[in-house]
Chain A
Amino acid sequence: MMRFFRQAVLLVVAAVALISPALAVQPDEILPDAAMEQRARGISAGLRCLVCQNQSIDDSDAPLARDLRLLVRERLQAGDSDAQVRDFLVARYGEFVLLKPPFSWSTALLWVAPLLILLGAVTWIWRTVFSPVRATVGASSVEDLSTAEREALEKLMRDRD
């Protein structure tokens, strides 16, 4: 959505080439075998268009994206499995081409982070909000008042009498 807007703001002129509207898959690319075409679309959606910003080759109309789409279909027709097609592209272009980074040492933190954050948040909240210590402190007492407030309170109490 705003990606295009911001790019333009950022790169003003340089970005113009990147911002043409996406008209991805062309009719001549579509495979006759519908099931295989479906697989090709699925794979394409997970592959990065290397010259675009965060677009999959399925969404991009860059010439490179078209080349990659054709390559994916070529491999599928040659009898490759989905995983083999991905491996083939990773061997060529590196893991950068995968929009979903595979689990490895360098991405371990990325994948476990949500779980760690969730556990951390639950633990922290539980300890600060629901622990028995809090329950006693929570019943905040008169000692907590500052001198000025105590005076004001006493004055109020006097006035009532």
Chain B
Amino acid sequence: MITELGHFALILGVMVAIVQMTLPAWGAYKRDTRLMAIAEPAALSQLTLLTFAFLSLMHAYVTSDFSVANVATNSHSTKPLLYKISGVWGNHEGSMLLWVLILAIFGAAVALFGRNLPATLRANVLSVQASIAVAFGLFILLTSNPFERLDPAPFDGRGLNPILQDPALSFHPPFLYMGYVGFSMAFSFAIGALLEGRTDAAWARWVRPWTLLAWMCLTIGIAMGSWWAYYELGWGGWWFWDPVENASFMPWLAGTALLHSALVMEKRDALKVWTVLLAILTFSLSLMGTFLVRSGVLSSVHAFAVDPERGVFVLAIMVLFTGGGLALFAYRARELRQGGIFAPISREGSLVLNNILLTTACATVLVGTLYPLALESATGEKISVGAPYFNMTFGPLMLPLLLALPFGPFLAWKRGDAYAAAQRLFVAVLAAIAVVAIGYAVTKPGPWLAPFGIALGVWVMAGAISELLFRAKAGSASFDEVARRLRNLPRSVYGTALAHFGVGMMVIGIIATSAYQTERVLLMKEGASLDVAGYDVTFNGAHAAKGPNYTETIGNFSVRYDGEPVTILQPSKRLYDAPPQPTTEAGIYNAWTGDLYLVLGDEQASGGWVVRAYFHPFVRFIWIGTLVMFFAGAISLSDRRLRVGAPQRARRVPAAVPAE
């Protein structure tokens, strides 16, 4: 019964969205306040209905109602509660329902917090949000209904793939979707601005916090997936340039560019056309990610052709919104006049460089991801575009970005002084040079480029600290004065510096673990020991154990360093009951210099076990860096200026640019 009510609520939700899509936009066109006023209650009731639909599906999962087809296919009665709940979005239908729920949350947020937006802009934005909801709502109802019943109901479900039964992965999709869907706000505001034929600094102030929030969620979502891959897949890989990863990485790159260009628009009223275009493109890439993942086109062009219903539907949605958005952009963009002018060497100029490099990197990932598909459908020729391609093209684009990054915040708006900026970064330059020298001394017969890579990370981190210290006049003012100034710096300044610091940490983690990881693969009998990166690992044997919904074999290893016992590691191999499938649980010891990573392989007929031991130096810097970026975003979001000032157009002399 609750399931049917959920289904009904979803249908009603889509109908409300149809109303919200049409009437307020028409009202904005006709300047009819009564029609525009429909948007707010519509957005709120849409949220209520979709929340109900989502909770009713969750109810079916929690109570293990196997008469619901979706639950029977993806859940199992013995599964722990956490994974029953995360199972709701661990499948196609449920995850699409989560998608539209998050969309409704963002829509309701505009309705609630956007009361001081210009009435027509608000009505248009809510209408555009609703049109996305209608498209995806119909997609769910027509091709992917999660509320379908089974008759007769099976005795038990088929279970969730055990490799997905993991805390980090449970919350990976919601964060990812908050990122994807959050960029719809930027899209809706861009379309709203184009419909109005005007954008101004207030527009950018409104868009930026939403973009920042979406970007934070996407950052943490991608990082969670990567962290999971690192400890779950059994060899410490954390990024594979897989098309599905690229599908989430492209909106991230475009969104990062958007954050920076919106900054220029907010502060200097420049780059308007570009920012609006970028807002449209960022969401289009989110839609494309959804298409690539949902249509099956990635596994093969043929799989897509065999069962095209869903794929064609999502493709149609993508073409409609991307094409429609770009067409409107082409038609109206000329009316968005550019504002402030600036010299190439300036804060704006550095942000333009950031945008050029990030969008080029994004386009490169796009080309690499789609090229094999395009080539196969055009000529039938099959090629693989894998990690080596992306490393060769993406890496060189990041190099100038990271080199230039610390300069940006030191350049003045309009016209900057590169020489003065370089002087202020003197200490950071010294730090980087010192790291190169130490790197060569310590790792002597190592990869010759790696110390430079590490130094690049240090350069970015030191640059971020230098910025804070410079702003606090460290070196020229008294200690108390510096402390006072540090306290009074706006939070957005800390946000910027901290986010850049996180980027530097990530670079160090990536370079160090890629260049210096060590690996041993051995057949070990009980009592044998191996040596990896100075750790002495002794195998004490393996024993069987039973978990809630799996059986496992646990290996026992004592780890010593310099003869001193360090820890006991217990990597295991699990076999899940439903579906019957093996997983590995690595044993990881985390020291500040890096991770010792042990994996138990198969028992051999000749006696002994296959054991893999790895040392991943500084690998955690990758995820600590992304966490730092996430919190940096949160700090920036809590800045008074964004919190209070965002909707307040009146605080500025209207720098508005008219529709003409």
Residues of A at the B interface (CB closer than 8 Å) are 1-13, 15-16, 19-28, 30, 46, 48, 53-56, 59, 94-101, 106-107, 109-110, 113-114, 117-118, 121-122, 125, 128-130, 134-135, 137-140, 144-146, 149
Contacts and interface: CB of A to CB of B under 8 A. Distances in A.
Given A106-B379, A114-B367, A129-B352, A16 B581 contact: yes
Contacts of B522: 27
Given A2-B244, A100-B388, A10 B271 contact: no
B337 A2 contact: no
A5 B224 CA distance: 12
Interface in B370-418: 371, 375, 379, 381-389, 392-393, 397
B356 A144 contact: no
Contacts of B226: 1
A28 B522 CA distance: 9
A119 to B, nearest CB: 9
Interface in B337-379: 337-342, 344, 352, 355-357, 359-360, 363-364, 367-368, 371, 375, 379
Contacts of A146: 658-660
Given A2-B244, A95-B383, A125-B352, A144 B660 contact: yes
Place the interface of chain B in its size category.
Answer: 35 or more
Given A48-B386, A96-B383, A1 B293 contact: no
B242 A53 contact: yes
A144 B658 contact: yes
Given A4-B163, A117-B363, A100 B389 contact: yes
Interface in B206-245: 222, 225-226, 228-229, 232-235, 237-245
A80 B169 CA distance: 44
Nearest to A121: B356
Nearest to A135: B341
B555 interface: no
Contacts of A19: 161, 163, 581
B296 A21 contact: no
Contacts of B237: 22, 59
B656 to A, nearest CB: 7
A9 B245 contact: no
Contacts of A16: 161, 579, 581
5 contacts: A1-B229, A114-B363, A129-B338, A134-B338, A140-B339
Interface residue SS majority, chain A: helix
Nearest to B348: A129
B345 to A, nearest CB: 11
Contacts, number: 215
Nearest to A23: B601
A46 to B, nearest CB: 6
A144 B337 contact: yes
B7 interface: no
Given A3-B240, A6-B293, A10-B92, A118 B657 contact: no
Contacts of A15: 161
A94 B74 CA distance: 38
A13 to B, nearest CB: 7
Given A46-B388, A139-B341, A20 B383 contact: no
Interface of B: 73-74, 90-92, 95, 158, 161, 163-164, 169, 172-173, 176, 222, 225-226, 228-229, 232-235, 237-245, 248, 270-271, 273-274, 293-294, 296, 298-299, 337-342, 344, 352, 355-357, 359-360, 363-364, 367-368, 371, 375, 379, 381-389, 392-393, 397, 521-523, 579, 581-584, 599, 601-602, 610, 612, 654, 656-660
B377 to A, nearest CB: 13
Nearest to B232: A21
Given A1-B228, A137-B338, A139-B341, A99 B387 contact: yes
A44 B385 CA distance: 15
Nearest to A3: B242
B163 A114 contact: no
Nearest to A119: B360
B364 A114 contact: yes
Given A1-B239, A4-B163, A121-B359, A20 B368 contact: no
B449 to A, nearest CB: 16
Contact of A21 (B163, B383, B659): B163
A23 B601 CA distance: 7
